[in-house]
Structure 1
């Protein structure tokens, strides 16, 4: 780009004929999804048909979490972070310029920029704003130090988390004004934890009904066995990957290779709960996502022996290995005013003998995480961080909606 000291004639010419200015933001990855591992870079492009006097050109990168309740009557906006860069004149050369006298010649001019996403929300550094964007004076707001949440929602939903680039040109001289352009950036957070982790198990004690030559006497003690459902990676489910589930029956009396125990029905479902907080009130929005459902399987359980040579009946995991956690879900997150959590519900119909079917339901609080950009293969996993983020919720007026 070029600039020069303005002449009296050029100033009069610009005063008589207002300049036409076009401002836009171009990204190096215009259709990409950005993650916490990425740098966001691009150019601010200024196109002017006549000479213009420019004071500064800046670009701001910010993230925000908006919450709206009661049809928008209760609203809060928390600033997750904000950072800016002066593109023109460059700060290192600013002392060489008189901003009120820098004239930019007609043409197209580009100004490169780059930002990195912060490792965590910086909401605690700034106050919150009300629905009109004005600063709120509340000192009781509970600000959380958490990783950046993923982009979610829009202006029509109760929750909206967005990341925005905003370029600003301050025009000076005889004609003063401010020109702005903005561009939304889609952010997807990637976990760095290492899988697999230690599994978690839920158990149910049941009365077993093995094939016996005679019915069990009312006075006799009915055999008790246990059915166990285990999440092999602990409470973590990965977007785009199958649910790492193991199902076993232990302490089954008199079990042999010709046993008559089978899996008849199976269903796995995620229950998503979004909590939205604004002005001391809380609303809980729940949605359900079925991962897989199967019926009339008659799938015999497999007999094998554990480490201490005890017989175990297990379900073949290939039954659910072809169904994955939907990639369109957002990972588990929490901000000061919006949080999203999940529960996994597993339903098993076990058939004992020919006619007896017993239904078992297991429910696990889980964290949905992502190891790659949605739709792409999982990247090489990195070591787990040496801390664990617990989920904390503010107390408020709970309103259940479906």
Structure 2
């Protein structure tokens, strides 16, 4: 299909791109905040079938409120917060960002103009002895770098002394911020929006780090109580990726250092920024039965190629000698009469009559998963998104439920 013609240069038609590319990952969470650009909403559609010939089916759609459709009072919108993917096993490794800190040598005071009273003074201008102190700062996270919604950041900050013992360093400023990038794509147009959440910010601190007599190459870990009790804001969405919108994060840490002695801290301040790519998980762990099913499907065989559309004229009819397609999960044993008559392979195309339709409809998600996999049992995370006050007054609903 021709979508565009360029008449300025040679006549080169642009062919429509293949839209069959699909990202098979967990459903994204409800997302808003990009007016007119991107939005992720979920609703429930209910259809009541009435077999009478002169009566139409009742359809009810629980749409989220918008500026164009005024919802009725019986519509209830909801937020979707997905379960997190399987976490890798814990390791002793760390993801870190490292930067050196070099203070400049203090200049001696300028000589004063001699006067009659200088003969009675015995004070001499103090000249700094030795080179200025040098340090190395590390910002570390457990590997892989994963943050959890509504939980504190598992951050570690270490200061290493790289020069001979002169004067002790002091922590003067600390800033922790989570920066999120939302990548949006529509055809050939791509755009990335950035959003930041300040976890904590402290200034005018005078926290001593170690001691001036500490040996060379000694490391001092900052007290994690400064940020341990501060969880991530409840508006942070988990990391996700879809065909046309994705979200990824970076953790930005700024550490401000100065040096001197207690009560006599030099006015010199060095601010070192650190940026670490991180993933944000929802904190809702998948049930163990689901993890076992995924492990069995991954260990049994690789994924099959995507099946063509049943109505496509290029699809060859299945033969009796052809191999059965490989499915994502292990077929479950039938436990009910309604499920026993259904096909065991969800991706199998069955030969039918001349109408080209399926003899038996495929099993639903509840039939295929509810027999072995129980409900998700875990903490309910507080997840909030921007809402419109006028729509809440119209529907009589205050806020969003989980």
TM-score, normalised to structure 2's length?
Answer: 0.51
Given the alignment, which residue of 92, 96, 99 partners 1:204?
Answer: 99
| Structure-2 change in CA distance of 1:350 and 1:233 (3 Å) | same
What corresponds to 2:188 in structure 1?
Answer: 280
The residue that corresponds to 1:188 in the other structure is 81
Aligned-residue offset at 1:242: 1.4
Residues 1:174 and 1:189: Cα distance change in structure 2 (over 3 Å)? closer
The count of residues paired between Structure 1 and Structure 2 equals: 239
Shift of 1:200: 0.8
Contact (CA 8 Å) 1:268, 1:345: kept in 2 or not? yes
Listed one character per residue, the Cα deviations across residues 359-380 of structure 1 (whole Å, up to 9, x for unaligned) are: 110011111112139xxxxx99
Partner-residue secondary structure (3-state), 2:29? coil
* TM-score normalized with structure 1 length: 0.51
Which structure 1 residue ranges, 4+ long, deviate > 6 Å from structure 2? 382-387
Contact 1:304-1:313 within 8 A present in 2 as well: no
**In structure 1, C-alpha distance between the alignment counterparts of 2:276 and 2:45, rounded to whole Å:** 42
Report the CA distance shift for 1:357/1:227 in structure 2 as closer, same or farther (over 3 A): same
Q: Pick closer, same or farther for the CA change 1:273–1:305 going to 2, 3 Å.
A: farther
Once the two structures are TM-superposed, the CA of residue 383 in structure 1 deviates from its matched residue by: 8.8
Q: CA deviation at 1:143?
A: 2.0
1:242 matched residue in structure 2: 152
Q: 1:158 maps to which residue?
A: 37
Q: 1:154 to 1:201 in 2, by over 3 A?
A: closer
Quick one: structure 1 residues 255 and 246, their matched pair in 2 at CA, closer, same or farther if it must change by over 3 Å?
farther
On the 8 A contact 1:210/1:260 being kept in 2, the answer is no
Name the counterpart of 2:322: none
Alpha carbons of structure 1 residues 351 and 196: separation in structure 2 relative to 1, 3 Å:
farther
Determine if the alignment matches structure 1 residue 332 to structure 2 residue 239.
yes
Q: Specify every segment of 5 or more residues in structure 2 that has no aligned partner in the other structure, as ranges.
A: 1-15, 63-76, 107-125, 299-402
Question: Using the alignment, how far apart are the partners of 1:285 and 1:139 within structure 2?
Answer: 26
Provide structure 1 residue ranges, at least 5 long, that are not aligned to the other structure: 1-136, 374-378, 388-402
Which secondary structure state, in structure 2, belongs to the residue aligned with residue 163 of structure 1? coil
Q: What's the counterpart of residue 99 of structure 1?
A: none
Q: Which has the higher strand share?
A: 1
Distance in 2 between the 1:321 and 1:152 partners? 27
For the aligned residues, what is the CA RMSD?
A: 3.9
| Alpha carbons 2:101, 2:270 under 8 Å: kept | no
